[in-house]
């Protein structure tokens, strides 16, 4: 664990954060809505939803890029138009992601030598859309929350994020197409499965299969279900709001 920040360091930190955020109550701590989200059950949909909601108007912490010695370069970095925020890109199982932190303390846990700077998350989101395909990981090495690409895109535009598992219109669209392609599909559920994964459960009515498709072999039934999954996976509406999908066929009415 990183050592506690001393009073002198805290005062210097407060000055830097005040200049960056224009909020003199900001001493690099996790802000109220963000802290509340972090206290939600780890890895839950509730935690992710509350964090994204908090980031609509609360700042995050990013490392400050350390300026090279102007006696060596002959010019200050600021004179070259460089962004002083050193957006940190880290590798995740899904690919590179921009790292953002809730507080100077959480940044220190990741890298005790980094200097913190407060920024609106919208700015981080805009960079992530260009540099990391919209991937952002929040508090790596502590909370390790992956912000979905759809949430990053919404916040970059100043919009409110609607999670796929709360989008009733999306569910109705998926169910309509699934049942049209294979009538025994009787219901469909979209759930958050952690990190970047959405779980979509297809409920298949076994009694309808026996009545309408009783002559199909098991292999042919699997092909039918796989065809439904492939058709739904290709829908632009679904692709826009999900990063990874876990498909779960579930037989009911056995």
3-class DSSP state of 129: helix
Confidence of residue 9 (pLDDT cuts 50, 70, 90): low
**Angstrom distance (rounded) from CA 125 to CA 150:** 11
pLDDT, tens digit (0-9, with 9 covering 90-100), for 209-244: 877 666 778 888 899 999 999 999 999 999 999 999
Identify whether residues 229 and 248 lie together within a single domain: yes
Which residue among 89, 124, 156 closes a domain?
156
pLDDT of residue 79: 44
Which residue among 116, 135, 156 closes a domain?
156
Confidence of residue 1 (pLDDT cuts 50, 70, 90): very low
Q: Is 116 exposed, middle or buried (0-12, 13-18, 19+ CB in 10 A)?
A: buried
Identify whether residues 14 and 75 lie together within a single domain: yes
User: Does 2 fall in a domain?
Assistant: no
**Average pLDDT of span 2-15:** 54
Comparing 156 with 111, the larger pLDDT belongs to: 156
- For residue 61, is pLDDT > 50? yes
Nearest CA to 204 out of 249, 235, 241, 163 is that of 249
Number of neighbouring beta carbons within 10 Å of residue 240: 12
User: Does 52 fall in a domain?
Assistant: yes
pLDDT of residue 211: 72
Identify whether residues 69 and 178 lie together within a single domain: no
**What token pair was written down for 186?**
């009787």
- For residue 105, is pLDDT > 80? yes
pLDDT of residue 8: 60
pLDDT of residue 80: 39
Q: Where are the alpha helices (DSSP H) in 157-217?
A: 168-181, 206-213
Identify whether residues 83 and 119 lie together within a single domain: yes
- For residue 15, is pLDDT > 90? no
Mean pLDDT of the chain: 86
Comparing 247 with 72, the larger pLDDT belongs to: 247
**Average pLDDT of span 179-202:** 95
pLDDT of residue 78: 45
**Average pLDDT of span 6-34:** 67
Provide the domain count of the chain.
Answer: 2
pLDDT, tens digit (0-9, with 9 covering 90-100), for 135-178: 999 999 999 999 999 999 999 999 999 999 999 999 999 999 99
Supply the range of the domain harboring residue 234: 164-252
**Angstrom distance (rounded) from CA 27 to CA 169:** 42
**Angstrom distance (rounded) from CA 163 to CA 8:** 42
Identify whether residues 149 and 199 lie together within a single domain: no
pLDDT of residue 218: 83
């Amino acid at each position: 664990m990183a050592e506690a920040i001393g009073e002198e360091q805290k005062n210097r930190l407060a000055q830097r954060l005040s200049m960056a955020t224009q909020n003199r109550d900001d001493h690099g701590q996790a802000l109220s809505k963000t802290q509340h989200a972090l206290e939600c059950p780890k890895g839950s949909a509730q935690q992710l939803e509350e964090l994204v909601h908090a980031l609509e108007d609360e700042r995050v912490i990013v490392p400050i890029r350390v300026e090279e010695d102007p006696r060596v370069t002959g010019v200050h970095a600021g004179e070259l138009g460089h962004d002083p925020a050193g957006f940190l890109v880290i590798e995740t199982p899904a690919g590179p992601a921009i790292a953002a932190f809730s507080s100077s303390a959480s940044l220190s846990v990741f890298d005790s030598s980094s200097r913190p700077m407060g920024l609106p998350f919208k700015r981080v989101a805009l960079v992530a859309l260009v540099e990391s395909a919209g991937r952002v990981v929040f508090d790596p090495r502590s909370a390790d929350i992956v912000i979905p690409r759809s949430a990053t895109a919404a916040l970059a535009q100043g919009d409110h994020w609607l999670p796929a598992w709360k989008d009733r219109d999306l569910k109705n669209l998926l169910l309509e197409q699934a049942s049209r392609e294979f009538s025994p599909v009787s219901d469909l559920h979209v759930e958050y499965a952690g990190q970047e994964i959405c779980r979509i459960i297809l409920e298949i009515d076994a009694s309808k299969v026996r009545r309408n498709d009783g002559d199909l072999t098991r292999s042919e039934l699997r092909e039918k279900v796989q065809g439904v999954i492939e058709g739904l996976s290709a829908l632009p509406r679904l692709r826009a709001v999900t990063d990874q999908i876990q498909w779960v066929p579930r037989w009911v009415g056995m």
